Amino acid sequence: MNILHIGASDGEEINFYDYCGAETLVYVEPDIHALKKLKENIAKYQQAINAGMVIHVLNKACSDRIGEKIVLKANGKGQSSILDIGPRTKSWVGDEFEEYEVETTTINKIMDTNCSSYANDYICIDTQGYEYTIMKDVNKEKFREKFAMVDIEIMTDPYQYNIEEGQHKRLIYLLLNLGYEPVAIPMDKTESYLFLKSDFYQRNKAWMDILIKESAYKCEQELFKEALKKDDVDIGSNYIKTILMTSKGFHPLLKVTGQVHESKLDKFRKVLFEKITNVSNLLI
């Protein structure tokens, strides 16, 4: 399995990717502060693992244009975006953002130069609201050929970053038109969502549906335990289900019968990704 991760930050997922069986990993990160930490984490990983992933790092901002200079806003603590920083984000992390120019590249360019010799099974795009700009001019045929899974942040809150109105809906429609299906139906809530290539999902539907249900069930168990604050929980208890369904948050519907609580969406994606890669080392 091969991975392209756009918006790598400090590369905290590196050991997780290795555990899931990745052979090649391409990181794209424009923030010079995050890049320093990213390279440190890569060095630690390579020292600990004798024969691990082949890792490439691009110090560029992924955009819809190649070789241009664009202004990045970064706070030196892992928070950065091409978009203007909104008041909600500043209330969370402070307003000390510096601005500096970074060079741009595109997914098309990366596919042609950094990923041309192999199929990338998985792409992660986490760029704080800039995802639609990155995706809107992608080469559809090449993209579908390379990626079976798309893990992408869908930013819905203009008070976090200065996104255009309706941008998150355009991003979802774009992915649907590319031929990808969301595992959990995206709601009007900023979160990363996992999309599967339609023919990949349909070809493997029998075992894929089982993995989706197992992943959701594992997250449900965690939520029940947190709700009752004890280690063992009777999953069949109507009392527990009442606590769950009345707890704060929404419950995105899954492709298969079931729901996943918003507080467990990130966990759900990671559990499902791990299960899929354990079942099949080559997804395309």
Q: Which residues are paired to 196 by β-bridges?
A: 149, 181
More confident residue, 141 or 1: 141
Nearest residue to 26 (alpha-carbon basis) of 152, 151, 123: 123
Nearest to 152 by CA among 161, 162, 176: 176
Q: What is the structure's pLDDT at 245?
A: 53
Listed range (150-159, 181-190, 234-243) with the worst mean pLDDT: 234-243
Which percentage of the chain shows pLDDT scores above 90?
71
Burial 240-252 (b: 16+ CB within 10 A, else e): beeebeeeeeebb
Each residue's pLDDT tens digit, 27-57: 999 999 999 999 999 999 999 987 789 999 9
pLDDT computed for residue 279 by the predictor: 82
For the whole model, what pTM was predicted? 0.90
For residue range 86-138, list pLDDT tens digits in order.
999 999 999 999 999 999 999 999 999 988 777 778 999 999 999 999 999 99
Question: Do 108 and 136 form a contact (C-beta atoms < 8 A)?
Answer: no
**Is the CA virtual torsion 135, 107, 199, 214 positive or negative?**
negative
The rounded distance, in Å, linking the Cα atoms of 4 and 148 is 12
**Range with the poorest average pLDDT among 1-10, 136-145, 175-184, 248-257:** 248-257
pLDDT grade for 182, boundaries at 50, 70 and 90: very high
Give the rounded percent of residues in the chain with a pLDDT score beyond 70. 90
* Beta bridge pairs of residue 197: 180
Residue whose token pair is 């997922």: 13
What pLDDT does 234 receive? 54
pLDDT at position 94 is 95
User: Could you give the residue ranges of the DSSP H alpha helices within 138-229?
Assistant: 140-146, 167-178, 198-203, 205-228
Asked whether the beta carbons of 63 and 133 are under 8 A apart, the reply is yes
pLDDT score for 241? 56
Question: DSSP state, 128?
Answer: T
| Nearest in space to 147 (alpha carbons), one of 173, 171, 166, 175 | 175
Q: What would the pLDDT profile of 205-234 be if each residue is shown by its tens digit?
A: 999 999 999 999 898 888 877 777 655 555
Is residue 69 within 8 Å of 101, Cβ to Cβ?
Answer: yes
Residue type, 80: S
- Structural domains of the chain ordered from first start: 2-203 (3.40.50.150), 207-279 (no CATH)
Burial of residue 219 (number of CB atoms within 10 Å: 0-12, 13-18, 19+): buried
CA distances from 90 to 74, 87, 117, 221, 242 (A): 12, 5, 42, 34, 36
Between 218 and 279, the more confident residue is: 218
